[in-house]
Amino acid sequence: MYFCTQCEKRFANQRYLRRHTNIHDSRYKCTECGKCCSDSKNLTIHRRTHSGEKPFECTVCSKRFTQSSSLVKHIRIHSGEKPYKCHECDKAFSESGTLTNHMRVHTGDKPYKCSLCNKSFTRSSHLHSHTRRVHMNRKPYDCRYCGRMFTRSWELKRHVHIHTGAKPYSCTHCSDRFTWDHQLKTHLLKSHNEGTWLMCNICYKKFSHIGSLKLHIRRHEGVKPYVCNECPMRFCTAAELRCHHLKHSDIRHFCCGSCGMYFKHKYNVVRHFSRCSTDKLLINDVQQQFRERHFWTTCNDVVM
């Protein structure tokens, strides 16, 4: 591995290291925001974000881009072209970087390591998110409906669907619409036999989402990497550990909207609300919100 002496970032070969060191060169620094680029070409492309210049236009939908490579990737959305194929499971991708990330599912490689806690990740974005969320406690995006905080803007956009009831994912074969992309993927697999099931190589159970498969395999192997710092108990996911921590605390975050009683766990307030309220439609809505939140919390922890 090759290390940058200024920021300790690691690289697989010397060519990538040389390109990276240019980021610390003031010649390639943006005068508008101070961002450093690896070369003059990337600096020119970056400056277009400030000027609003987008010289490359899609001939199908007229969407414009700051660089030609972004237009090439975008056109594959219309053409359906997926030139990068996994030789392990034949799954195909439209971008080489997505294939590289996918291959780590098969190899188990986690090249991105946190310098503060030595936890490893398959993607650099997962490492950055971990650093902001765990070590910096940075959550700049807050929900205007419930005040919940998020580390990334797309997480907030996804969360808001719970409050608005939006269903942006529609099936191309029927009139069904879905709030989440994983719901559409599962629907296509079950109802229209479109896509590829992910199968456990131990018990042959099938899954539509990679996060669910990873968690399932972890339970087969008995791996419990999350340890409570107040008792000897261990857990498969960070979500289970956070839920367990409430047993050692007197804090009750979850309130029944009907009678005002407070509870430690989300599932307790949902179960209580079904007995407390007579509004069945509202009961179903609360239960659905809980299921969606629980699913994404678990999947994020598994993927991370």
| Domain map (residue ranges) of the chain | 1-60, 82-138, 221-304
The residue whose two tokens read 């950055």 is 128
211 phi/psi in degrees, rounded to 5: -65, -40
pLDDT at residue 302, as a whole number: 38
Please, how many CA atoms are within 13 Å of residue 84, restricted to the half-sphere of its CB? 13
pLDDT at residue 303, as a whole number: 37
The answer to whether residues 278 and 268 touch, using CB atoms and an 8 Å cutoff, is no
pTM summary value = 0.42
User: Rounded distance, CA 24 to CA 5, Å?
Assistant: 11
The residue whose two tokens read 């009961």 is 283
54 phi/psi in degrees, rounded to 5: -135, 85
pLDDT at residue 275, as a whole number: 73
> 79 Cβ partners below 8 Å, 6+ apart?
none
CATH class, 1-60 region: alpha beta
* CATH homologous superfamily, domain 221-304: Classic Zinc Finger (3.30.160.60)
The answer to whether residues 155 and 139 touch, using CB atoms and an 8 Å cutoff, is no
Strand runs labelled E in the chain: 2-3, 10-11, 56-57, 64-65, 84-85, 92-93, 112-113, 120-121, 141-142, 149-150, 169-170, 177-178, 198-199, 206-207, 226-227, 234-235, 254-255, 262-263
Q: DSSP labels for 76-98?
A: HHHH----EE-TTT--EESSHHH
pLDDT at residue 289, as a whole number: 59
pLDDT at residue 203, as a whole number: 92
Greatest alpha-carbon pair distance for the chain in Å reads 67
pLDDT at residue 291, as a whole number: 56
Would you state the CATH architecture of domain 82-138? 2-Layer Sandwich (3.30)
pLDDT at residue 137, as a whole number: 67
Q: DSSP labels for 264-297?
A: SSHHHHHHHHHHH---HHHHHHHHHHHHHHHHHH
What average pLDDT values come out for the chain (304 residues) when binned by 10 residues? 74 78 75 79 84 87 86 84 81 83 77 80 77 72 81 79 81 87 86 86 86 85 80 83 78 72 75 65 55 48 40
Name the nearest CA neighbour of 39 among 63, 22, 17, 64.
22
Q: Which amino acid is at 160?
A: V
